[in-house]
Structure 1
């Protein structure tokens, strides 16, 4: 049985060889985050305020979120290849734009009965780029993921992911376990220093997106949402390096600058991801401490690693040019 993401991060950090953590800079970043929470710049409302996201009033919101996070992986292309773009958007938001376009065109894309039998040609058309030439990375893998989750939903959950949520009695951890047990394409695990560790990026972001969309109410009401960690990907570490909370050894930094691919499960990959989770957990604790030191009530279910991840990920997008000199680790795979 794998350690959960938090336990995995702690275990990895105790054994790291290729990265360093700077606690004083985590404390400095916590000051910045605390102010932005007070100013409502960091807020759960930011999810539904994005034009490409559904609102909690949308009857298909759960189906849309589940579909998106089934496909939410690996949007970068090796070398200097042109980026995959949809309606001018790149990466995750290009995926959102493509799915929304398909819905407007009358494609029943959020229905498991449709995507459990989807062909590569059909998904290729749905995810077609603006120029009609550049294809989304790992198209075949995306088809396989859709078929896998669609069949399971039909066979066991009456074709509705909301039935999975209802079974978990408002527990994010129970839902996390259900997701990784029932849908293998979400089972983001590896072996590090002899132990089975987990990161569960897509499974946790699925829970985080439901919580964010419904603002912690209705389907998004989880009594343990603060136990969900950040979503260990390849972009947030850039921001953590930028803020001085994460540092790569010279050897690792030089390797990343070569733009070479890492194999999934590589020790260096796991250390970057594990350290990222650990840093954001420490950041969260420091923010909680600032609220307490200022005599303010801290709603730990509101100030959580989901919001901190949103802040860091958005910061990278808004400051992409400034951060581009910091290399990111590259892995072709379905987990992030």
Structure 2
């Protein structure tokens, strides 16, 4: 974090992803430089850290006071717990930033901490984000030893007790990697976890594990969207014109007589054509959701294979083609109106 290039990358990441809150882990900034570095990192933002428990400031959290406010409830060597409020929406949630210790013995206080706050936050939406430095399942790692020892069970047992689950996500399956070739190791040790109340109140939310940039860990983002009940604007899709009944449907709708002045006749006929095309979309392209699901799975598989061999131009091209197919089908799916 003392590197100006890394600071510039963080500013760029926040701007591109339009973030209102961010957590930074293992900053390696001495405590006496915290104020000077944080004040210039993203101007106008507020910051807190856990220097009281870690002399190198292993956890920083920052937020844009124009959009949200954050009140810390508890700060320790491995976690910062607090309440995040969205200024304009009147909504709030509990948010915890986690950076776990490297040894099994030192990790255990965090497991107890999460279970403790699961009781306190059980009636509030709760988001837990960070580097847990632990895997939940044998499939969470590739490379090196595949032995599963009893200590590994402590993490999934903690999640079960705290009733925390992974937020649905897109992007990279493995969040940390090192070395290359036969010595390459990959792990899913960074997670975005939520409780049941989060899934009830913020069902329109999604995590994204992005490609590593200046770190050997994947940066993670969370988007929280409120469902929109407004009718979507009409969109015309070229693939409708390939249907054998397209011209007849449009012709029939347009030729139907309408009484009134010319402008009223025009508007009425346009509405009738739109209604008939929407019906055609539902009737003739009703399997589009299945195709989208298949394309999404194909894209995830392509991303996973590419992670295992980042230098492969063939896999890169396959991932690009899978992405194109998915985007095309997804745009078609968006044409459905209910």
| TM bracket, shorter-chain basis | under 0.3
**How does the TM-score come out when normalised to structure 1?**
0.27
> More strand per residue: 1 or 2?
2
Structure with the bigger RCO (C-alpha within 8 Å, sep 6+) is 1
The normalised TM-score by structure 2 is 0.27
Q: Which has the higher helix share?
A: 1
